[in-house]
Amino acid sequence: MLKVTNLTLSYGEKTVIKDVTFKVNKGEIFGIVGPNGSGKTTLLKAISGSQEPKQGHIMLNERSLLTYHSKELAKLMAVLPQQSETAFTYSVWDVVALGRYPYQKGWLQGLTKDDHQVIEQALKQTGTEQFRDTPLQSLSGGERQRVLLARALAQEPDVLLLDEPTNHLDISYQMSLLNSLKQWSRDRDLTVIAVLHDLNMASLYCDRVLLLDEGQTIALNEPRNVMKKESLTDVYKTALECGEHPAHPSPLITFVPEAANEETLSPIDLLEIEQDPQWIKITSPNRWKALSSAVLGAGFSWHNTFVNRHVHKDYQCDDVISEFSHYLTEREVSGEDVMGMMTAAMLEDAVILRVNENGLNMLVMVTAGTSNAVDASKAFSHPQMTSKIGTINTWVFMEGKLPESAYVQALMTVTEAKSKAMFDEGIKDEVTQTIATGTSTDSVMIAASQEGEEFPYAGTITSIGKLMAKLVYEATREAIVKNKKRRGI
Ligand SMILES: Nc1ncnc2c1ncn2[C@@H]1O[C@H](COP(=O)(O)OP(=O)(O)OP(=O)(O)O)[C@@H](O)[C@H]1O
């Protein structure tokens, strides 16, 4: 539909778009992103025909853009500019009606019935019907933006050019506008070329994205292939992370604020450990990003309080989460902040190991009760689900930045180390009389400070994996020995 080849654009001596080439397909939503001054608006102006190329050319429907008459072009292409005109004293209806200008044969010809219908539809699609008699200048920025979009739609274009269309819109109108664009591109093959500042909106809604920096193409691809941490950090000079959207298959970009001032103590040194027969509570002034299978705060979440709570071995409850939250409230701890586990093991027997060597800083806590030990390879032969609380709870705190993939590797590392400790302590599955690999209700947590050195991997081949495995193995064995003694084994 639109083909831009070796396009170079300048203001006087200043070149702002340098040798840019891309195609936009019919019905596509094509995003242009990049930092301030990277040339997005200038490029859009060239596509709309209002900025002449210094070099290169633009083809629309296989025909050079330069050969179109302005009225002819306006039937094919509508523009929603970045700055909305404020000098209008026209009513909203009149402004939207201007969108029908390319279809009028002469100055004096009035609007046809069809024109009226198109105008009404454009007002309806943008939710601006209620303002039809209001002067444009007395509307808010967001309302005015929607009216100008209605005017663009009234042009019934094949291509819609939008320069930061969500600029003045609140989140609900942003989503509603982009949802509508998506719908129109699917239903009516409307081609949308939009300059967007919000990288997440571009990720969610664009079929492809062009990332510009200083007038040059840095990347041109589907959002998933453009929104990469390295290139975005480089282009925007901002600390950010690219993850996965929790409910949609698109990348999610999150920005990382700079730490206010440098802590001199390691985040592990700042952990406060409270240990008594009722609970082990570790608190931190900072939040840690944890991955856990806990009762409270499971999955990935950020916590500053970690509770391993002792419960009676016959503990039974229908709504464990509410009961646990109530337990915390009674102890004046906010449940929102807590990663919480339970165990029937005696907390006096907990093993806490702390290591700071070769730049690796780690703390491991294990409590072990093994009366519920299970051989995972034979768990299927256990007669029924038991809900005994003989449990091994394993916590790892490590200083450093870990990507989510490394948490998954750490989980494997820790589980393997725990199983080996069970093996070396000869803990058997009472049902199958084979060596147990864990208990049926074990829980694990990996917490990283997300400050300091980056560790991309945490398997047993890595330095952190090796240390983690060693500490978890030693702590688990020691905790099992204590548990055996207590049970008189
Ligand atoms: N009319 C003009 N005359 C001279 N230079 C201009 C003109 N318009 C823009 N520029 C310059 O061209 C460069 C690209 O501007 P442009 O508006 O295309 O960037 P942009 O990526 O859209 O920026 P923003 O995100 O701030 O809207 C900038 O350095 C800008 O100062």
Tens-of-pLDDT digits for all 489 residues of the chain?
Answer: 899 999 999 999 999 999 999 999 999 999 999 999 999 999 999 999 989 999 999 999 999 999 998 888 988 999 988 765 556 678 999 999 988 888 877 655 678 888 899 999 999 988 899 999 999 888 888 888 889 889 999 999 999 999 998 877 888 888 888 998 898 899 889 999 999 999 999 999 999 999 999 999 999 999 999 999 999 999 999 989 888 898 888 999 998 887 666 657 889 999 999 999 999 999 999 999 999 999 999 999 999 999 999 998 878 778 889 999 999 999 988 878 899 999 999 999 999 999 998 889 999 999 999 988 999 999 988 876 655 657 999 999 999 999 999 999 999 999 999 999 999 999 999 899 999 999 988 999 999 999 889 999 999 999 999 999 999 999 999 999 999 998 888
Distance in Å, CA 456 to ligand 1 centroid: 39
Max CA distance (Å), the chain:
104
Phi, psi (deg, nearest 5) at residue 332 = 55, 40
Measured torsion, CA atoms of residues 197, 35, 245, 173, in degrees rounded to the nearest 10:
-10
What contacts 333, CB < 8 A, 6 or more positions away?
281, 305, 307
Q: Which of 7, 12, 53, 17 is nearest to 37 (CA)?
A: 17
Exposure string over 311-339, b if 16+ CB within 10 A, otherwise e: beeebeeeeeeeebbebbeeeebebebbb
Query: Which is the closest atom of ligand 1 to the Cα of 212?
Result: 21
Query: Which is the closest atom of ligand 1 to the Cα of 215?
Result: 14
Nearest-CA residue for ligand 1 atom 2 is: 11
Question: Is the minimum distance from the CB of 167 to ligand 1 under 6 angstroms?
Answer: no
Query: Which is the closest atom of ligand 1 to the Cα of 45?
Result: 18
Helix and strand counts by DSSP (H, E) for the chain: 12, 22
Distance in Å, CA 162 to ligand 1 centroid: 16
Relative orientation angle of helices 141-154 and 113-125, to the nearest 10 degrees: 140
Q: How far apart are CA 185 and CA 126, in angstroms?
A: 15
Phi, psi (deg, nearest 5) at residue 442 = -60, 150
Strand bridging mode 338-343 / 351-357: unpaired
Nearest-CA residue for ligand 1 atom 30 is: 37
By most ligand atoms within 8 Å of CB, the mutation choice from 9, 10, 32, 41 for ligand 1 is 41
Cα–Cα distance list, 452 to 239, 272, 322, 401, 402 (Å): 14, 20, 36, 6, 10
Question: Is the minimum distance from the CB of 309 to ligand 1 under 6 angstroms?
Answer: no
Question: Is the minimum distance from the CB of 41 to ligand 1 under 6 angstroms?
Answer: yes
Residue-range domains of the chain with CATH? 2-255 (3.40.50.300), 272-486 (3.60.70)
Strand bridging mode 29-33 / 191-195: parallel
Helix intervals (H) in 113-221: 113-125, 141-154, 171-188, 199-205
CA angle 415, 420, 423 (to 5 degrees): 130
Measured torsion, CA atoms of residues 134, 137, 138, 142, in degrees rounded to the nearest 10:
100
The complex's ipTM?
Answer: 0.97
Question: Is the minimum distance from the CB of 40 to ligand 1 under 6 angstroms?
Answer: yes
Nearest-CA residue for ligand 1 atom 28 is: 37
Nearest-CA residue for ligand 1 atom 18 is: 39
- Using CA of residue 317, residue 320, residue 322, residue 327, what is the dihedral sign? positive
Distance in Å, CA 414 to ligand 1 centroid: 53
Q: Which of 184, 186, 220 is nearest to 202 (CA)?
A: 220
By most ligand atoms within 8 Å of CB, the mutation choice from 7, 11, 51 for ligand 1 is 11
User: Quick one: residue 306, left, alpha or beta (phi over 0 = left, psi -120 to 50 = alpha)?
Assistant: beta
Residue with tokens 């147990």, as numbered in its chain: 436
Question: Is the minimum distance from the CB of 33 to ligand 1 under 6 angstroms?
Answer: no
Question: Is the minimum distance from the CB of 215 to ligand 1 under 6 angstroms?
Answer: no
User: Quick one: residue 377, left, alpha or beta (phi over 0 = left, psi -120 to 50 = alpha)?
Assistant: alpha
What would the DSSP string read from start to end of 220-282?
EE-HHHH--HHHHHHHHTS-EEEEE-SSSSSEEEEE-PPPSS--SS-TTTT-EEEE-SSEEEE
> Residue 83 has what pLDDT?
64
Distance in Å, CA 4 to ligand 1 centroid: 19
Q: How far apart are CA 316 and CA 79, in angstroms?
A: 65
Question: Does residue 250 contact residue 242 with C-beta atoms inside 8 Å?
Answer: no
Question: Is the minimum distance from the CB of 38 to ligand 1 under 6 angstroms?
Answer: yes
Nearest-CA residue for ligand 1 atom 27 is: 36
Question: Does residue 307 contact residue 270 with C-beta atoms inside 8 Å?
Answer: no
Q: What is the 3-state secondary structure (H, E, C) of 373-404?
A: EECHHHHHHCCCCCCCCCCEEEEEEECCECCH
Judged by DSSP in three states, 310 sits in strand
Query: Which is the closest atom of ligand 1 to the Cα of 14?
Result: 5
